[in-house]
Amino acid sequence: MACPLAQRGPGEYRGELVAFEREAALTTTAKAMTATPSEVLKTGATAAELAERLTVAGQGDGFRFELHGYGGGGATGVMTRAELQRVLRMLEVAVQNAGWVSPAPTPAAASGRPVAH
């Protein structure tokens, strides 16, 4: 899943371009984010299962996203690059909140150079 900006930009700025695209995607999808009603969470809790595998593949101008559970359940959808960035960020936060891994530095933070948005 290559970043179109990074592919066109100079090599020394690719990390910053990837971070910029990610932040832009999160900003453009922010308005669509709403709290899930507790009734929906309660209804889904009985059918919830632990994810076993996540597959992301390019499909036309979007991305096919497949989530497979240990119990055989799953979800599949096609989304835009910005939507995929939002879902991946949500998964990243959930993993961090669960304490499964330490937060990874962003490409810009890893380079030590500031990023202007």
- Nearest-CA neighbor of 117 among 40, 19, 1, 51? 19
24 falls within a domain: yes
Which residues is 67 bridged to in the sheet? 54, 75
Please give the pLDDT value at position 4: 60
**Cα first-last separation, the chain:** 22
Report yes or no on 43 lying in a domain.
Answer: no
Range of the domain at 97: 4-32+50-111
Instruction: Find the radius of gyration of the CA atoms of the chain.
Output: 16
9 vs 31, higher pLDDT:
31
pLDDT reading at 105 higher than 70: no
Decide if pLDDT at 108 tops 80. Answer: no
Query: Structural domain tally of the chain?
Result: 1
CA distances from 36 to 27, 84, 109 (A): 20, 19, 32
- Give the per-residue pLDDT at 114: 53
Q: What is the largest CA-CA distance in the chain?
A: 50
Q: Which of 30-34, 58-62, 99-103 has the lowest mean pLDDT?
A: 99-103
